[in-house]
Amino acid sequence: MQRGIVAASAAAALLALSSCAGDGVALEDQSRSLTVWVDDDRQEPVTRAVEQFTADTGVEVEIVLRNYEEIRNDFISQVPTGEGPDITVGANDWLGELALNGVISPIEPGEMTEEMEPVSLEAFTYEGQIWAVPYAIENLALIRNTEMTDVTPETWDEAVEVGEELDADYPILLQMDTEGDPYNMYPMQTSFGAEVFERTEDGSYEPQMAMGGEPGAEFAEWLQTQGEAGVLDTTVTFDIAQEAFANGESPYLISGPWALPEVEHLDVAVEPIPRPGDQEAVPFVGAQGFYISSQTESPLLATELVTDYLASHEAQVSMFEAGGRTPALLSAAEVAAEDPRMDGFAQVGAEGLPMPGIPEMAIVFDYWGVAHAQIVDGRSQDPAVTWEQTVDTIQSQLDD
């Protein structure tokens, strides 16, 4: 997958960038204050890290609680006016849009890059630079109800067979909706070799569609067969899938760590996703991190806060305990892995593909899931043609 090349080059770039940051903090006006935007899940652990930063440096930090769904758009609109924060929490799939709008600065995290999960660094890499300090990664995996079956399926067909032998209401649960769900369907798609974008020699995404041709046609035909069999169903939304699994209506659920709180009453194992195609079913890996505003008046202080405090072992363990996502910091991830379920997610995620952060991803999502839904629902007379037309439409939009 060439992911190691990206991580190594990114780490080297960051080490070079940070070589002048250490002593420079002392030269910056310590009387200045910083503002950090967080959401409810991160507020408490970020507050603890900030309190230590203030105690050590004397720099006051205002923590502003924001609705997570509004942070990206508000950050883009407010930073150019000087009203935005110095630092904000955010996801890696915001990266392309934030960079394109010029509202973030590359990060200088220094030697701690060697202590991060490589895929978390890749997720925040764009045009050869890293733009956020990661604190968590998340991905899909197979959640198995060990009380219903001891079979860890390697293939999708094997999972379906187990579910049918158990006479389960759902042989295997994979959420969709009436407009599809590309994120949750992506491991199935990759098992046919139909990655969303082409990648450069160093593994970075480029805006050239890669999910067409024979691999895409095979995936589309598989979608049709699973829809006809009733295994995939666009009416099985997140809530329905979650509730059905929690009620013991299926031995298998493909989901992420966000599903665990609702199944605490079950004995479950977290394992690799069974593949419907000939290749491994590789999920997207999303990352959460802290971006620094391009308009901050205290870039060195902001960098010190995110790299030395928000990326510390204590802070990342605290954020894991608050949010239930695998820490990006390897030492903190070891703490999370004491829970075998989290260890299962981490092992699957270590082989995953970073969620694309390039700006063109938004265009892809406009069409991608709709094609899934059309095929699964039986509204496509020829799934391979429907799929190829979708790919062509997306590429024409990217080329405009």
3-class SS string, 341-362: HHHHHHHHHHCCEECCCCCCHH
3-class DSSP assignment, residue 302: helix
Q: Which two tokens stand for residue 250?
A: 């299926």
Place of tokens 């990266």: 95
Neighbours of 9 (CB within 10 A): 17
Full pLDDT tens readout for the chain, 400 residues: 434 434 444 444 444 434 444 444 444 555 589 999 999 999 999 999 999 999 999 999 999 999 999 999 999 999 999 999 999 999 999 999 999 999 999 987 577 778 999 999 999 999 889 999 999 999 999 999 999 999 999 999 999 999 999 999 999 999 999 999 999 999 999 999 999 999 998 888 999 999 999 999 999 999 999 999 999 999 999 999 999 999 999 999 999 999 999 999 999 999 999 999 999 999 999 999 999 999 999 999 999 999 999 999 999 999 999 999 999 999 999 999 999 999 999 999 999 999 999 999 989 988 999 999 999 999 999 999 999 999 999 999 999 8
DSSP character at residue 356: P
Note the pLDDT of residue 5.
37
* SS3 per-residue string spanning 132-144: CEEEEEEECEEEE
Place of tokens 């590429």: 395
Note the pLDDT of residue 17.
38
Question: Maximum Cα–Cα distance for the chain, whole Å?
Answer: 69
Note the pLDDT of residue 7.
42
Beta bridge partners of 129: 126
Note the pLDDT of residue 8.
42
Note the pLDDT of residue 343.
97
What's the CA gap between 224 and 234, in Å, rounded? Answer: 12
Q: Residue 104 CA to chain centroid, in angstroms?
A: 19
What's the CA gap between 156 and 274, in Å, rounded? Answer: 5
CB contact burial 275-292 (16+ within 10 A = b; e otherwise): bbbeeebbbbbbbbbbbb
What's the CA gap between 179 and 385, in Å, rounded? Answer: 18
Domains and CATH numbers, the chain: 3-138+285-354 (3.40.190.10), 140-282+358-399 (3.40.190.10)
The answer to whether the CB of 327 falls within 8 A of the CB of 115 is no
